[in-house]
Amino acid sequence: MDKFITIDEAVSKIKDGMSIMIGGFLAGGTPEKLVDALVKKGVKDLTIIGNDTGFPDKGIGKLVVNGQVKRVIVSHIGTNPTTSELMNAGKMEVVFVPQGTLAEQVRAGGAGLGGILTSTGLGTIVADGKEIITVDGKEYLLEKPIRADVALIFANKADKMGNLFYKGTSQNFNPLMAMAADLVIAEVEEVVETGEIPMEDVRTSYIFVDYMVKE
């Protein structure tokens, strides 16, 4: 099966109101061309799950600035003033999640787990409305798994089957998100023949990748 599609074909699969995971850390490792195509298409009322809301002109921030997002689930928003403005004006919902907890919730979503237990956030507003479970006399918050309709991820290298390799910290949320969405589209920088990526360097198996677009 040929997994390569055009960027226009990729974004045609994304509709108003969908939940979308977008890889990256302050836009590092973010599929920028896919994000740009989403901005151009103008899909709206999106729920975006990511580490942060990038910058006004980079990463997830471009969708926020363009008014396409109704809700974000992120760890921080400090590098994008527009996010704060929209949140304070009641025009966009911001759900703050501690970074490690967010990563583990996404991992749980991909692994089919019922949630994770963490002490992070106990005694704070993070715990509001959440179930507290006691294990061996110690209390933990039950944080439920997170999944999305679509994951948009970025990889530095892919083979023709869809096995992915990431350089350095560009891995961040990308491998986790590739396991936690119903549809996974990877923007790739370089394409090689199947087998050219050593098995030990494959960070996302082709079985998780539905489509790829060449950067």
Closest CA to 164 of 114, 138, 198: 198
> Under DSSP, is residue 158 helix (H, G, I), strand (E, B) or coil?
strand
Tokens 């918050």, located at residue? 141
> pTM of the predicted model, to two decimals?
0.95
Residue ranges of domains in the chain, CATH in brackets: 7-111+145-214 (3.40.1080.10)
Buried b (16+ CB within 10 A) or exposed e, 159-185: bbbbbbbbeeebbbbbbbbbbbbebbb
Those residues whose C-beta lies under 8 Å from the C-beta of residue 143, and which sit 6 or more positions away, are: 97, 101, 104, 105, 108, 115, 116, 117, 118, 130
pLDDT in tens, 3-31: 999 999 999 999 999 999 999 999 999 99
pLDDT in tens, 149-191: 999 999 999 999 999 999 999 999 999 999 999 999 999 999 9
d(CA 34, CA 95): 24
